[in-house]
Amino acid sequence: MSKKKSESQPEWANGLRQLYDSVVDEPLPDTFKDLLSKLDSKD
């Protein structure tokens, strides 16, 4: 059943999902963590 669902999706949807998954797996850069902590401390 899941195979039929994947066949109905356009080809770019699979590539977009793979791109998203690779970005989500990236660690958060230290500079971004520092920025978030600075923004949190200004509250």
Query: Which three-class secondary structure string do you get for the chain?
Result: CHHHHHHHCCHHHHHHHHHHHHHHCCCCCHHHHHHHHHHHHCC
Which residues form the domain of 6?
A: 2-41
Q: How many folded domains does the chain comprise?
A: 1
Q: What is the structure's pLDDT at 10?
A: 87
Q: What is the structure's pLDDT at 26?
A: 81
Q: What is the structure's pLDDT at 1?
A: 45
Q: Could you list the pLDDT tens digit for every one of the 43 residues in the chain?
A: 445 555 677 889 999 999 998 888 888 889 988 998 999 897 5
pTM over 0.75: no
Q: What is the structure's pLDDT at 29?
A: 86
